[in-house]
Amino acid sequence: MVRNSSIERKIMSGISKKLFEEWREIAQKELKGKDLENHFWITPEEIRVKPLYTKDDLNGLNDQLENLPGLDPFLRGPRATMYTNKPWTIRQYAGFSTAEESNEFYKQCLENGQTGLSVAFDLATHRGYDSDHPRVSGDVGKAGVAIDTVEDMKILFNKIPLDKMSVSMTMNGAVLPVLAGYIVAAEEQGVSKEYLSGTIQNDILKEFMVRNTYIYPPKESMRIVSDIISFTSKNMPLYNSISISGYHMQEAGSTLTQELAYTLADGIEYVRAALDAGLKVDDFAPRLSFFFCTGMNFFMEVAKLRAARFIWAKLMKQFNPSDPRSLSLRTHCQTSGVSLTSQDPHNNIIRTAYEAFAAVLGGTQSLHTNAFDEALALPSELSSRIARNTQLILLEETGVKEVIDPLAGSYYVENLTKEFIDKTLLLIQEVEQMGGMTVAVSEGFTKFKIEESAAKRQARVDKNEEVIVGVNKYINENLNEEIDLLVVDNKKVISKQIQKLKKIKSERDNNQVNLAIENLKKGAESNYNLLSLSIEAIRARATIGEISKVLEDVFSRHKAISKSITGVYGSAFSEDTSFNEAQKKVTNFAKKEGRQPRILVAKLGQDGHDRGAKIIATAFADIGFDVDIGPLFATPEETSKQALENDVHVVGISSQAAGHKTLVPELIESLKENGGEKIMVVVGGIVPPGDIEDLKKAGVSAIFGPGTPITDSANQVIDMLLKKNLSS
């Protein structure tokens, strides 16, 4: 056996040579002839993880090991006493149907141990449309609560004391009228804005990268961010004016180092925007907060949060703050949504528990745990209770709150933390060299990098290189569970919201509304604070849609150009039997038809989550399909028109936000009315079992749930096309 090899140099550290020799001999026997030199794990972040760490792996890490919680660089926690004095805030991200129903749900959650509210708005609200707008017929009340006016906001927080309750609101596109509505609702509850605590997400750069619930172009959107930071820093001392979010980056397929780097780079961009607006760094930096995803890579998620605090303190020093709180990164975490599976869904309870534990060991300040049924539908009352109790058990029964940063000094975790710091700083430097995050986002650089990572990850899963229990390994073939899912009656919600809108518009002083709207328009054209003007408009009972529309008239509504990458998925499957089989069928089809099979991959309604659509587009293109990608936020009629103009064989609808039950039948009807009855329609994504039969009756040819290998769906689609071709 070769002595002094690289494995010996990397592992034999801080222990005697004799002891190392004994370990090596035993390890080599256990490996049964496999080469110990190659017994490493290379993570998607290209971090080389050794099978054994020893105390010598801590050499050179004094800057990590010698710091304490509550002190710069805050690696061990933003507060000196952490959970031993104040536990993390237990939140549930929730909202559905009407404000009345959501309010009842919130009060029940608070009675059962939840300590903060986290509000989910429907997609119509996110995109600045009132519930009666024709573009949002399938979205109202489906993926969150419908809010049209301050009266809805007052109902949402009815009997919830806003001077005592921390409220987090996930809102970016229509952030001005929504935050204004919250402020006025509190005001009319008797709570002045200086007593409000919580967070508004207000992270628009992330929207242009991954989530896509933007309204205005990047430059104008950044102005809105600055106006909100400026207003809240002067008038709302307890309120976090922005939650800089990496969550949706990981959900869209980024690696953990990409999530961390691009999030922190976004943060620096917002700091510069606030400084350019004339604010002093210590006036706003202590109220900045962050939002990260916690996935299934347990120890790396812990290391990520520790590294995040270290890097943020380092980056913020360039702005010369005098308040140490300006260097301190505070974060909310949410367990991963993309790790949830529709197959064997009770496994998701276990996944969420591990993810929550990682977030707590990493030192999060607040936490939301996803419900186990969210890969099928919105959370039910039962699944929400289980998710909430996951945190309560973690808090009360495990002892984790009794020690600050319990994994500090771990050979492995400290080493991973250093790896994260080094690799993340390199990615941030890459963005900075481009001119900062606004430039990187505008040029599509970060979006491309994340989509590339997503395609690679999907290939690993489909090839069984990355195991997902119950999906590609340990599959329960006899599983036939009935799960009681929450169902929202979209038509009923729309009807109720329209009635409320009509009532408010008939009772308000429309001269006062018009004056407030005109002032807002002038403010947008000049340099007045837009949040201050939005508050005046909301007080007058202007609607979310009216405020958004007048700003759209000045700023325009942003339209992204959909692009896809090629070759990434196919290169991983070059020798895969199922992949090659699909390619042969495509070739066979092309010979018979005289052209390649053509598919339009489309999103209907206001759902901007396009990870699934982009992965399908790149994979089907690599298999040999001609692929068209529809624009985001399309109506059924617009998608039908594009399908007919492009003469496609198939329309593939990617669904995540529950609008499919309304929108897909409308698409099929539009195709039939315009001579496209031969075009096949398939649906992929989150489709509750109860919706499957209705969609098939409407004419959907196939439905592919989360976790379906892309090669399987491609083979099924091409088989149906070949059969249709033969029969015609």
State the catalytic residues: 93, 247-248, 603, 607, 609
Q: Is the peptide bond before 73 cis (omega within 30 degrees of 0)?
A: yes
Nearest to 578 by CA among 461, 704, 463: 463
What tokens appear for 487 in the block?
């169902």
Name the percent of the chain in helix, strand, coil, to the closest 5.
55, 10, 35
88 secondary structure, DSSP code: P
| Alpha helices by DSSP H, 290-336 | 298-316
Which residue in 317, 314, 251, 261 sits closest to 290, CA to CA?
Answer: 261
- Round to the nearest angstrom and report the end-to-end CA distance of the chain: 68
Pick from 238, 227, 319, 315: nearest CA to 274: 227
The residues, ordered by sequence, that sit 6+ positions from 370 with a Cβ below 8 Å of its Cβ are 334, 335, 336, 337, 340, 348, 352, 379, 387
Q: Look at residues 707, 664, 89 and name the one whose alpha carbon lies nearest to residue 347.
A: 707
> Per the structure block, which two tokens stand in for 551?
């700003």
The Cα 541–Cα 508 span in angstroms is: 7
Beta bridge partners of 93: 118
DSSP conformation letters of 134-168: GGGTTTTTTSSB---SHHHHHHHTTT--TTT--EE
**Displacement of CA 533 from its chain's centroid (Å):** 30
Nearest alpha carbon to residue 368 among 89, 83, 85? 89
Compute the half-sphere exposure of residue 74: CA atoms within 13 Å on the CB side of its CA: 25
Report the SS3 class of residue 16. coil
Q: Are 548 and 177 in contact (CB under 8 A)?
A: yes
Alpha-carbon distance of 390 to 358, in angstroms, equals: 13
Instruction: Give the ranges where 526-651 is alpha helix by DSSP (H).
Output: 530-539, 544-555, 568-572, 577-593, 611-623, 636-645
